């Protein structure tokens, strides 16, 4: 019954070489981490994962020690910049592969919320396992740390079915996190017994402590009797799948689960829980971490063994992880991300000219680093560097960077063959994810099993002696034969599949409320296999509301080289870089003409274009694969023209996802391979008009003034209006100096402090300034401040009042929003301390109350202003990379530093005033000055600003808790704590150091 289990790559020489250097690497990591043992251990483990998964060529590496030290240094830089990456990227706890990965990826500042979510997910799974196998699957994968193929073996199902059950369970868990009462099957569920919400400490637990608590919760939810030896033999010896109740007991019983592990040859629970040996790990003495301190330098002691066990598990986590999104970072800074939705996923990124590249990372939405391309060993003559990682389920991830052009070009290629089969599982082709949702699929299985059950009944002793037994037996045989014959018939002919696919394509494209966005990858090569293939990207936008389809072609360097604009009537305008545009009527722009002319990029990956190319669908064969239909046409004897065409349709929605065409012409046979990289249906109102206008690099002589052939007059008029407003898609790209100037002008009128203002870049690189202000007077003030740049075509300005914004909303005229907040009468949490303080200085209850009111208002105001300055400082310091700052003109750099120094000075003054105001009440004699912080270079400004913002936020929360009256209540304890005053002094010192850096 059990299928062979895929395992991570076996230990090789890379692991041995790394472990031999473990002690030295740990000592180096400790120095990089400032003696933070936990972070140092993470750095060494991450280095182990990279070194053993990527397995770099040791001969090319040369000095292995220097290489590994460089990897540690780059990983440390990535770790320091990780907090900035995490902002805005938080996932629900249930969306991670496991609770362990969730804790590892969580923002440390958000630890309590994440741990509460994990407890809630555990409660959901413990209750859900009693009614659905999805709950048991989630426990195995998420809480026990089993990998998908191991889960499939325990559950007795396919790999695809496990993925589908996990999808269902995670969806339900997310809903449970939002509203536990919304899931009806959870009310009074038996499995909730022993998994009730428990009171826990206000402070976050360590990761090991929490994981131990979650697993104990699962084991307490156990119900029913342990599995007998006979039952275990039937399930895991003869191939029967366990039912829901049996599986629910097994996943919550350590004895039964370990017996299942033994029978399936899986790792026991003790090896899955790194927490089990936590107390056994010997703590190194002070000094043992130094290279010459006489510690364990061989890497063979108990510390190295424990490291090896944990690091191997982390490497296996990365090996098994299937990302939903690929994120690319250069030198620790996030550059781009892409959803994973096809067997082949590719990204090409052009960096800025002259930008240094030390290392490239590819990680997932779960912050799992899948690949690290380290360039520290790159020699000056190397024009291309690459790395490749093999992952589970025959997946591969490749990263390369080319230095052939003026600017480095990064290319990421991820292949996931399993993704083609998952839609079938999701559509219910393999097995239902939940017994309550079985529906037709379950009835179909019962129907197929009926002849076997009848035959078993008929074959009983004495049946054939009854009258009419022979006739009934023959009927059973005929029914079974008919069923089996019917199962061997293809679902439909090629013509029928194409017809249905075309209908769905047209239906999807006809919705005026949506815009279709698609990314296709096109490989062209000699059909005989000679020469390297060329790889290009085609980006498609289609809007029924505009009656327009747009197709852009990008080369291997990610440069736009051609484009086609096609109307609903079929009229087309084709642009090629450096050439005059060409107009085509409906009959002059077909797929067959494009293929004959060598313009395969104009062919759509669709059933309609496949039909137009093949013409005779009767000659097309159909093969049913896992999750797809493959349509194959061949005419190898043909002297010229299309000799082969193969189209793959997704079985779930009949969308074309792959296509191969072989065309024989005068120069020989060429093969064109199309692969879908992304498919999106976006709300039309959220897609900027710029995506439907010809690009300036393709039509510099005024394509926007006239529009492509057949485009409606409305589109041309809108483009002309945008030209007058300076908002056309062809607006010039704004240089960094101009961005500094705009920021400086807004800074002069304090528009960067709490104003609803946003500065972004358009797809063409122009700087867009959007602001929402309270009054017409403030709007005029902003427009006057921006007057020096308002005529620049690279700056797009949109300033509106709240009233104008409300009038502009559809159906929103005359409507207001009223919010009523009722706060019970009472006193602020700090009232008792303040009243005691002022009673010794003032006479009269009224005067004391007035003094309390004024001090509270001043404290809240100063704390709020300090937070605004810290936030503005963080945005400013992180707006440009170190390379961009170095490249700024002297005057722009001076203004940038002056703004940074100004915000740091303003923060320091507000924080100092707050400290002097509150110290006599809450820390008499215990709140000295801010002290001094060490200096740092410009490269560390962004990190210092991030740290200052963290301190400002925690201080503001403490002040608001003490001085704000609310229905939820509050406490003055934080402002009386030693931690608050240390934080305030540290923040003042850090702001002073940033101010000095800005002045120098």
pLDDT tens, residue by residue, 972-984:
788 888 888 888 9
pLDDT at 207: 79
pLDDT tens track for 557-608: 677 899 999 988 888 889 998 888 888 877 666 888 888 888 899 999 999 9
- Per the listing, tokens 């300036």 go with 696
CA-to-CA distance for 339 and 345, rounded, in angstroms?
9
pLDDT digits (tens, 9 = 90+) for 64-92: 888 888 889 888 888 887 766 665 456 77
**Which pLDDT does position 187 carry in this prediction?**
56
pLDDT of residue 967: 42
3-class secondary-structure state, position 265: coil
Quickly count: other Cβ atoms within 10 Å of residue 743's Cβ.
23
Range in 164-168, 222-226, 310-314, 572-576 the model is least confident about: 310-314
pLDDT at 919 over 60: yes
Q: Please tell me the predicted confidence (pLDDT) of residue 189.
A: 56
Which tens digit of pLDDT belongs to each residue from 781-819?
889 889 888 878 788 888 888 777 655 443 333 333 333
Q: Which residues contact 751 (CB under 8 A, 6 or more apart)?
A: 757, 771, 782, 785
- Between 145-149, 196-200, 215-219, the lowest mean confidence (pLDDT) is in 196-200
Q: What is the pLDDT of residue 340?
A: 81
Q: How far apart are CA 600 and CA 553, in angstroms?
A: 11
Q: Is the pLDDT of residue 946 over 60?
A: yes
pLDDT for res 421: 55
How many other CB atoms are there within 10 angstroms of residue 851's CB atom?
A: 17
pLDDT of residue 255: 92
d(CA 956, CA 863): 5
Instruction: Answer whether residue 707 shows pLDDT above 90.
Output: no
Closest to 677 in 3D by CA, of 705, 649, 657, 655: 657
| pLDDT at residue 507 greater than cutoff 70 | yes
More confident: 14 or 465: 14
For residue 447, the model assigns a pLDDT of 41
Average pLDDT over residues 393-404: 85
pLDDT surpassing 50 at residue 443:
no
pLDDT at 113: 79
Average pLDDT over residues 758-780: 78
For residues 213-226, average pLDDT = 90
Instruction: Specify the pLDDT at position 519.
Output: 86
pLDDT value of residue 83: 63
153 φ, ψ (degrees, to nearest 5): -70, -40
CA 414 centroid distance within chain: 15
Residue 457 has pLDDT above 50, yes or no: no
Which pLDDT value is given to residue 934?
A: 56
Number of Cβ within a 10 Å radius of residue 267:
15
Among 462-466, 590-594, 830-834, 895-899, the range scoring the smallest mean pLDDT is 462-466
- For residues 713 and 539, the model is more confident at 539
Identify the band that residue 200 occupies on the pLDDT scale cut at 50, 70 and 90: very low
- Of these ranges, 8-22, 352-366, 422-436, 450-464, the one predicted with the greatest mean pLDDT is 352-366
Average pLDDT of the segment spanning 424-439: 40
Q: What is the pLDDT of residue 700?
A: 67
Q: Residue 617: how many CA atoms within 13 Å on its side-chain side?
A: 17
Residue 619 vs residues 612, 614, 696: alpha-carbon distances, Å:
14, 9, 45
Asked if residue 2 lies in contact with residue 240, where contact means CB atoms within 8 angstroms, the answer is no
Task: Indicate whether 459 pLDDT > 50.
Answer: no
pLDDT exceeds 90 at position 954:
no
Give 240-282 pLDDT, tens digit per residue.
889 989 999 999 999 999 999 998 888 888 877 654 433 333 3
- Picking from 609, 645, 652, the residue whose alpha carbon sits closest to that of residue 629 is 652
Alpha carbon 859 to its chain centroid, in Å, reads 40
Strand order in the sheet with 560-567: 582-584, 572-576, 560-567, 548-554, 534-543, 514-526, 668-683, 656-665, 641-650, 628-634, 621-625
What pLDDT score does 660 carry?
92
pLDDT of residue 721: 33
Q: Is 849 exposed, middle or buried (0-12, 13-18, 19+ CB in 10 A)?
A: middle
296: three-class secondary structure by DSSP: coil
Q: What is the pLDDT of residues 333-373, one digit of tens each?
A: 887 778 887 788 888 787 776 667 888 999 888 888 999 98
User: Residue with structure tokens 């598990």?
Assistant: 313
* pLDDT attached to residue 249: 93
CA distance linking residue 693 with residue 565, whole number of Å: 9
Position 960 confidence tier, pLDDT thresholds 50, 70, 90: confident
550/567 Cα distance (integer angstroms)? 9
Please name the helix (run of DSSP H) or strand (run of DSSP E) that holds residue 123, with its range, or none.
helix 111-128
Residue 246 has a pLDDT of: 92
pLDDT level of residue 137 (50, 70, 90 thresholds):
very high
Q: What does the alpha-carbon distance between residue 389 and residue 54 come to, in Å, rounded to a whole number?
A: 5
- With left for phi above 0 and alpha for psi between -120 and 50, is residue 900 left, alpha or beta? alpha
What does the pLDDT read at residue 605?
A: 92
Within 10 Å of residue 816's Cβ, how many Cβ atoms? Answer: 6
Residue 932's pLDDT band, with cuts at 50, 70 and 90, is low
The Cα angle at residue 320 between residues 131 and 140, in degrees rounded to 5 = 25
Cα dihedral across residues 591, 595, 601, 602: positive or negative: negative
SS3 692: helix
Cβ–Cβ < 8 Å for 30, 69: no
Residue 479 has pLDDT above 80, yes or no: no
Tokens representing residue 889 in the block: 């003109």
Q: Is residue 905 very low, low, confident or very high in pLDDT (cuts 50, 70, 90)?
A: very high
The pLDDT of residue 394: 80
Per-residue exposure over 51-87, b if at least 16 CB sit within 10 Å of its own CB, e if not: bbbbbbeeeeeeebeebbbbbbbbbbbbbbbbebbbe
- The closest alpha carbon to 353, from 404, 398, 413, belongs to 404
Q: Which residue has the tokens 């485009």?
A: 711
pLDDT at 675: 86
Prediction pTM value = 0.44
- Pick the more confident residue, 312 or 477: 312
Mean pLDDT of 528-532: 68
Three-class SS state of 347: strand
What is the DSSP secondary structure assignment for residue 619, as one 8-state letter? G
3-state secondary structure of 566: strand
pLDDT at residue 270, as a whole number: 81
**Is residue 362 a contact partner of residue 328, using CB atoms and an 8 Å limit?**
yes
Count of other CB atoms within 10 angstroms of residue 671: 19
Using an 8 Å Cβ cutoff, are 263 and 237 in contact? yes
Mean pLDDT of 495-504: 90
- Please give the Cα distance from 832 to 844 (Å, whole number): 16
Classified as helix, coil or strand, 357 is coil
The mean of the pLDDT values for the chain is 76
Diameter over CA atoms, the chain:
113
Burial zone of 701 (CB within 10 Å; 0-12 exposed, 13-18 middle, 19+ buried): exposed
CA-based nearest residue to 644, from 636, 652, 654, 656: 636
Q: Which of 101-110, 402-411, 749-758, 915-924 has the highest mean pLDDT?
A: 915-924
Q: How many CB atoms lie within 10 A of CB 817?
A: 6
Q: 697 φ, ψ to 5°?
A: -70, -20
Q: Work out the pLDDT band at 949, boundaries 50, 70, 90.
A: confident
How many degrees, rounded to 5, is the angle at CA 949 between CA 800 and CA 87? 75
Q: Which residues contact 606 (CB under 8 A, 6 or more apart)?
A: 501, 502, 505, 656
Question: Does residue 291 have a pLDDT over 60?
Answer: no
For residue 108, the model assigns a pLDDT of 67
* Residue of 423, 419, 475, 428 whose CA lies nearest to 451: 475
Segment 214-221 mean pLDDT: 91
Per-residue burial over 902-912, b if 16 or more Cβ lie within 10 Å, else e, is: bbbbbbbbbbb
CA dihedral 318, 320, 324, 326 (to 10 degrees): 40
62's tokens: 């040369």
pLDDT above 90: percentage of residues in the chain: 11
pLDDT cut 70: percent of the chain above it: 74
Structure tokens at 16: 């041995």
SS3 384: strand
């Amino acid at each position: 019954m059990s299928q062979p289990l895929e395992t991570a790559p076996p230990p090789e020489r890379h692991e041995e070489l790394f472990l031999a250097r473990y002690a030295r690497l740990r000592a180096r990591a400790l120095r990089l981490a400032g003696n933070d043992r936990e972070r140092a251990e993470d750095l060494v483990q991450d280095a182990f994962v990279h070194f053993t998964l990527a397995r770099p060529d040791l001969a090319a590496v040369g000095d292995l020690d220097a290489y590994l030290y460089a990897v540690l240094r780059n990983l440390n830089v990535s770790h320091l910049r990780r907090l900035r990456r995490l902002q805005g990227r938080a996932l629900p706890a249930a969306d991670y592969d496991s609770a362990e990965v969730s804790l590892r990826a969580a923002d440390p500042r958000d630890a309590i919320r994440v741990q509460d979510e994990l407890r809630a997910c555990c409660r959901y799974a413990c209750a859900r396992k009693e009614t659905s196998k999805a709950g048991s699957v989630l426990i195995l994968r998420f809480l026990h740390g089993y990998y998908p193929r191991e889960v499939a073996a325990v559950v007795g199902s396919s790999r695809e079915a496990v993925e589908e059950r996990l999808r269902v369970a995670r969806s339900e868990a997310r809903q449970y996190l939002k509203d536990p009462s919304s899931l009806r099957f959870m009310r009074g569920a038996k499995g909730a017994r022993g998994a009730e919400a428990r009171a826990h400490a206000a402070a976050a637990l360590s990761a090991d402590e929490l994981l131990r608590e979650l697993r104990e919760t699962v084991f307490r939810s156990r119900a029913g009797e342990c599995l007998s030896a006979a039952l275990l033999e039937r399930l895991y010896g003869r191939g029967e799948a366990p039912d829901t109740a049996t599986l629910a007991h097994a996943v919550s019983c350590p004895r039964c689960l370990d017996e299942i592990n033994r029978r399936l040859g899986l790792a026991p629970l003790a090896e899955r829980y790194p927490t089990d040996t936590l107390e056994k790990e010997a703590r190194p003495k002070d000094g043992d971490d130094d290279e010459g301190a006489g510690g364990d330098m061989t890497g063979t002691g108990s510390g190295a063994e424990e490291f090896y066990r944990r690091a191997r598990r982390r490497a296996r986590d990365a090996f098994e992880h299937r990302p939903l999104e690929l994120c690319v970072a250069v030198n620790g800074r996030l550059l781009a991300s892409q959803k994973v939705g096809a067997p082949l996923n590719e990204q090409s990124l052009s960096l800025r000219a002259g930008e240094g590249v030390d290392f490239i990372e590819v990680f997932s939405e779960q912050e799992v680093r899948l690949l690290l391309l380290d360039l520290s060993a790159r020699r000056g003559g190397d024009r291309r560097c690459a790395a490749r990682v093999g992952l589970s389920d025959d997946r591969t991830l490749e990263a390369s960077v080319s230095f052939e052009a003026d600017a480095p070009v990064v290319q990421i290629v991820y292949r996931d063959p399993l993704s083609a089969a998952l839609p079938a599982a999701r559509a219910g082709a393999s097995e239902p994810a939940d017994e309550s949702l079985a529906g037709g699929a379950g009835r179909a299985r019962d129907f197929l099993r009926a002849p076997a059950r009848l035959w078993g009944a008929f074959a009983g002793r004495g049946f054939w002696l009854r009258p009419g037994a022979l006739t009934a037996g023959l009927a059973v045989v005929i029914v079974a034969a008919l069923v089996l014959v019917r199962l061997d018939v293809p679902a439909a002919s090629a013509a029928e599949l194409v017809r249905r696919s075309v209908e769905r394509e047209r239906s999807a494209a006809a919705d005026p409320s949506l815009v279709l966005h698609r990314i296709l990858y096109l490989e062209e090569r000699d059909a005989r296999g000679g020469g390297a293939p060329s790889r290009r990207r085609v980006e498609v936008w289609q809007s029924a509301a505009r009656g327009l389809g747009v197709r852009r072609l990008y080369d291997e360097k990610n440069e736009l080289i051609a484009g086609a604009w096609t109307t609903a009537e079929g009229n087309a305008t084709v642009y090629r870089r450096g050439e005059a545009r060409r107009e085509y009527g409906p009959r002059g722009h077909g797929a067959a003409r494009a293929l004959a002319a060598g313009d395969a990029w104009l062919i759509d990956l669709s059933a309609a274009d496949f039909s137009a190319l093949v013409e005779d669908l009767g000659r097309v064969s159909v093969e049913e694969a896992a999750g797809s239909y493959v349509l194959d046409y061949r005419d190898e004897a043909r002297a010229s023209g299309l000799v082969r065409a193969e189209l793959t349709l997704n079985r779930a929605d009949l969308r074309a996802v792959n296509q191969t065409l072989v065309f024989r012409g005068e120069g020989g046979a060429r093969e064109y391979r199309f692969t879908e990289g992304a498919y999106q249906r976006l709300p039309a109102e959220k897609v900027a008009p710029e995506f439907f206008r010809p690009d300036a690099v393709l039509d510099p002589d005024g394509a926007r003034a006239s529009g492509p052939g057949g485009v409606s007059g409305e589109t041309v008029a809108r483009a002309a209006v945008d030209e007058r407003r300076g908002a056309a898609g062809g607006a010039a790209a704004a240089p960094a100096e101009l961005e500094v100037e705009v920021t400086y002008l807004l800074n002069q009128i304090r528009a960067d402090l709490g104003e609803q203002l946003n500065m972004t870049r358009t797809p063409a690189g122009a700087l867009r300034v959007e602001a929402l202000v309270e009054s017409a007077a403030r709007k005029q003030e902003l427009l006057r401040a921006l007057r020096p740049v308002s005529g620049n075509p690279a700056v797009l300005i949109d300033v509106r009042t709240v009233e104008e914004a409300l009038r502009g909303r559809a159906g929103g005229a005359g409507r207001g929003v009223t919010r009523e907040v009722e706060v019970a009468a009472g006193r602020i949490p700090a009232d008792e301390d303040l009243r005691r303080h002022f009673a010794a200085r003032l006479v009269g209850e009224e005067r004391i109350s007035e003094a309390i009111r004024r001090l509270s208002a001043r404290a809240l105001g100063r704390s709020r202003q300090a937070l605004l300055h810290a936030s503005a400082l963080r945005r400013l310091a992180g707006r440009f990379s170190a390379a961009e700052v170095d490249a700024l003109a002297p005057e722009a750099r001076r203004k940038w530093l002056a703004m940074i120094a100004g915000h740091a000075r303003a923060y320091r003054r507000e924080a100092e005033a707050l400290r002097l105001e509150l110290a006599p009440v809450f820390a008499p004699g215990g709140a000295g000055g801010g002290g001094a912080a060490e200096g740092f270079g410009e490269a560390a400004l962004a990190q210092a600003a991030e740290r200052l913002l963290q301190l400002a936020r925690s201080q503001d929360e403490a002040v608001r808790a003490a001085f704000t009256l609310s229905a939820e209540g509050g406490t003055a304890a934080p402002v009386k704590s030693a931690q608050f005053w240390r934080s305030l002094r540290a923040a003042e010192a850090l702001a002073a150091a940033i101010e000095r850096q800005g002045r120098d």
